[in-house]
């Protein structure tokens, strides 16, 4: 079962976070040999995505995943509440690790 973690992006701001992928008993998932991917969509059923969040594995043994989105990546996002997920994959094996809502807020300036 995937962890739930909600995110908030502000248009035109950098977004940087590190998350730990954990299994159901709360221990970190060993990501050795896996890759990760993640997308933001208006709805889970949409075929098009708003943003490829391009997560990276910071520590495979500790299950640490970095999300690093530059201001140019958030600038053109619509003000909305969307959904996202991050999956680990190896060959044909795909497992959802983290999922949640994404609030996209307007920049005040």
Averaged in consecutive runs of 10 residues, what is the pLDDT profile of the chain (109 residues)?
Answer: 93 96 93 97 95 97 97 96 97 95 92
* CATH class of residue range 3-105: mainly beta
Q: What are the residues whose beta carbons fall under 8 Å from the beta carbon of 2, sequence distance 6 or more?
A: 85, 96, 97, 98, 99
State the pLDDT at residue 33.
95
State the pLDDT at residue 78.
96
Cβ 94 vs Cβ 45: under 8 Å: no
């Amino acid at each position: 079962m995937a962890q739930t973690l909600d995110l908030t992006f502000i248009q035109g701001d950098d977004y940087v976070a590190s998350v730990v992928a954990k299994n159901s008993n709360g221990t970190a998932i060993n990501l050795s040999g896996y890759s990760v991917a993640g997308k933001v969509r208006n709805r889970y059923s949409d075929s098009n995505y708003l943003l490829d969040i391009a997560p990276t594995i910071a520590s495979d043994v500790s299950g640490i995943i970095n999300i690093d989105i530059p201001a140019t990546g958030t600038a053109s996002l619509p003000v909305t509440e969307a959904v996202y997920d991050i999956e680990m994959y190896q060959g044909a094996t795909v497992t959802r690790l983290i999922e949640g809502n994404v609030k996209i807020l307007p920049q005040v300036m």
